[in-house]
Structure 1
Amino acid sequence: MKLFFHFPPNNDMMDTGSIKRKGKMPLFWHFMAAEKTENWMLHRKVSTTMNFIVPAGYTPDIDLKETQIAIKVVKDFFQKELTKQLNLTRVSAPLFVTPESGLNDNLNGVERPVAFDIKEGGRKAEIVHSLAKWKRYALKQYGFQPGEGLYTDMNAIRRDEDTDNIHSIYVDQWDWEKVITKEERTRGTLEETVRAVYKALKITEDYMAYEYDYIGHVLPEHIEFITSQELEDRYPDLTPKQREYEIVKLHGAVFIEQIGGKLKSGEPHDGRAPDYDDWKLNGDIIVYYPVLDIALELSSMGIRVDEISLHEQLKAAGCEEREKLAFQKALLHGELPYTIGGGIGQSRICMFFLRKAHIGEIQSSLWPDEVREEAKKAGIPLL
């Protein structure tokens, strides 16, 4: 485990004029431009099993019970705002699917799903990694038309996840998907939808800052756009994660486009399964999170593959055998609608808006004993 201590800036760098709640000053208040900030990270290596960041002087602004109440406030408000911005209807979703359906999300292609056998019928099932492919099938089944979409509460187990302050083996997110026309499969459609999602995030932060005096504002007024290749060209000597940190520290909120395909360096910016996102029409919403001094991904989204891009990406990934699976076969035969969709982590959204240091303050999951011990010493209450 690597333990990081994070020291906040001097008070004279912070706008505290709007703080109404008495007590300790929030660790951060407003987003600060990169030229006014420094890197306050001091690293102390404890062991090598995982990463764990402790912001120096961090104490939760609200207790466990208040946090549970605030979580519901965040979820209820953001969910309502997202559905309004994107014209979405809530539907029920599966916790598990069969392997032969091809509906499970293969993520980066190496993660193992949690699988089990079913007594009746002798079938096997897998806990979903996400509902990226299932949603497209559901849009057809429920008869959604262009301009209409669905969202659902998705719960998943990712047994091979490398856990840290923002990653857990338990994943809870809003999965959403919307029908578009073939003509709308453009970068313009993607960026317009990104702005709508970001607007929901910004309005939610405004509401939470009004309800809870300590929260303040971190998100800038507008989100910036940059492709993964432009980002590599700008920071050729940095890793993808380091590039994300530099660009988001500069702008506050960035949508990094075109993730999955190889860049000029020969490596992709990040891994993406070849059979849901079109790698030329997707990306991640990333924001600067000052509590941990990190680039924090809040949403992964994109226009989904059509018949041509599905075949090309399966070939590029060496996964052409997937064309025989039910979902992929239906796509290749033009039986499913053209769509745009994404996932937004519920616990991560709550962690961000409530200014928490660890996702374990929001959700109940499993953590290594040494992490629980260090968190307890640091005053970080893991559920």
Structure 2
Amino acid sequence: MSYLIKPDNYKPILDLKQTELGIKQIKDFFQINLSSELRLRRVTAPLFVLKGLGINDDLNGIERPVSFPIKDLGDVKAEVVQSLAKWKRITLAEYNIDPGYGIYTDMNAIRSDEELGNLHSLYVDQWDWERVIIEEERNVDFLIQVVKKIYAAMVRTEYMVYESYPQIKPYLPEELHFIHSEELRALYPDLTPKERENAISHKYGAVFIIGIGGLLSDGTKHDGRAPDYDDYSTIGLNNLPGLNGDLLLWDRVLGRAVEFSSMGIRVNKEVLLKQLKEAGAEDKLELYFHKRLIEGSLPLCIGGGIGQSRLCMFYLRKAHIGEIQASIWPKEMRDDCKQHNINLI
């Protein structure tokens, strides 16, 4: 079911022409800074992969990938990628990338099960990145170090936007606040996970929540994760499990927390076996990706995705992701947006 936030007295700061120019400036500037901060080289990514290899991501495990038959392959099915976490790890191995270096790419996807709204579209575009690490870097201190580098690029980009469009005032805090999902639950025990995200993001402006996908002390999860890419069971912050997390910013236009990046240290063989068993998904061990990980032909790595349209939406102070990208929206939403000065492309 679609849902629309309609900010009071909303009026876009930039017109359509300025917006299109701003989008290009942001994308060009941010990816250069991201690649410099993390020592990443750009590679070309697929739009679709063959079904049944275990390369496509399951996200939360319930989203249905868009699939289609390939005539010249005897109607073998292909799937539009949902994200590229597993594909990137295979690519690191094929390019023989050294530890301390990595790759990034433009990931374009179709997620037909998205609940459409201000932040969610059928079309997903993000920078997917992955970097080779060594065993000694599989710890929460290294995770935090990498997250800080990404956030530094985000702050730098906001200032670039301000220099180009002085009417858009920067408000990101200099420091990013880190907290574990279990600590967040203890801080706001009577709130839902999304309400906790709003509360902590409103307080600090920019937050990284560690430990996404594992069980909390009350038997719930802060949010879901597929068990075969992020490591959410290894001990992380303050002796609490999780070497992954989500980066959230407080969006003043929408008056809520917005997730801009999901990332983490990836599973090794031992953690893969553990998390698949806990999830009751050990059948995946017969798939191509999982066999390669078990046999040791894939490197240890850290990686994630950063939403391109969301980032542009935030920097340009837009109320709807449809002001940044062209997609399909319910007629009722288009009509409602038009009445509230939200100009969907």
Structure 1 residue identity aligned to 2:138: R
- Maintained 8 Å contact 2:13/2:168: no
Q: Secondary structure at the match of 1:84?
A: helix
Aligned mate of 1:128, from 74, 81, 89: 81
After superposition, residues 1-383 of structure 1 pair within 5 angstroms as 49-122=1-74, 123-279=76-232, 280-383=242-345
Compare 269-278 and 213-222 and name the one that shifted more: 213-222
Q: Secondary structure at the match of 1:154?
A: strand
Q: Secondary structure at the match of 1:150?
A: strand
TM-score with structure 1 length normalisation? Answer: 0.87
User: Once the 2 structures are TM-superposed, how far is the Cα of residue 50 of structure 1 from its aligned partner?
Assistant: 2.4
User: Once the 2 structures are TM-superposed, how far is the Cα of residue 264 of structure 1 from its aligned partner?
Assistant: 1.0
Alpha-carbon distance in 1 for matches of 2:159, 2:221: 35
User: Once the 2 structures are TM-superposed, how far is the Cα of residue 101 of structure 1 from its aligned partner?
Assistant: 1.4
Deviation by residue 1:41-91 (Cα, 9 ceiling, x = unmatched): xxxxxxxx4210111111111111111111000000001110110000000
Structure 1: 5+ residue stretches without partners: 1-48
State which structure, 1 or 2, has the greater radius of gyration over its C-alpha atoms. 1
Alpha-carbon distance in 2 for matches of 1:380, 1:305: 42
Alpha-carbon distance in 1 for matches of 2:334, 2:253: 19
Deviation by residue 1:228-255 (Cα, 9 ceiling, x = unmatched): 0000111111000000011111111110
User: Once the 2 structures are TM-superposed, how far is the Cα of residue 125 of structure 1 from its aligned partner?
Assistant: 0.3
Alpha-carbon distance in 1 for matches of 2:159, 2:14: 18
RMSD (CA atoms): 0.7
Structure 2 residue identity aligned to 1:361: E
Structure 1 residue identity aligned to 2:286: K
Q: Secondary structure at the match of 2:231?
A: strand
**How many residues are matched?**
335
User: Once the 2 structures are TM-superposed, how far is the Cα of residue 210 of structure 1 from its aligned partner?
Assistant: 1.2
Q: Secondary structure at the match of 1:208?
A: helix
User: Once the 2 structures are TM-superposed, how far is the Cα of residue 119 of structure 1 from its aligned partner?
Assistant: 0.7
User: Once the 2 structures are TM-superposed, how far is the Cα of residue 142 of structure 1 from its aligned partner?
Assistant: 0.7
User: Once the 2 structures are TM-superposed, how far is the Cα of residue 315 of structure 1 from its aligned partner?
Assistant: 0.9
Alpha-carbon distance in 2 for matches of 1:66, 1:204: 17
Deviation by residue 1:139-169 (Cα, 9 ceiling, x = unmatched): 0001100001000000000000111101111
TM-score with structure 2 length normalisation? Answer: 0.96
Q: Percent identity?
A: 56
Alpha-carbon distance in 2 for matches of 1:78, 1:302: 20
Alpha-carbon distance in 2 for matches of 1:234, 1:145: 41
Alpha-carbon distance in 1 for matches of 2:30, 2:168: 16
Deviation by residue 1:244-298 (Cα, 9 ceiling, x = unmatched): 0111111111100010011111111001010000011000010111111000111
Alpha-carbon distance in 2 for matches of 1:353, 1:82: 16
Structure 2: 5+ residue stretches without partners: 233-241
Q: Secondary structure at the match of 1:176?
A: strand
Structure 2 residue identity aligned to 1:53: I
Structure 1 residue identity aligned to 2:207: V
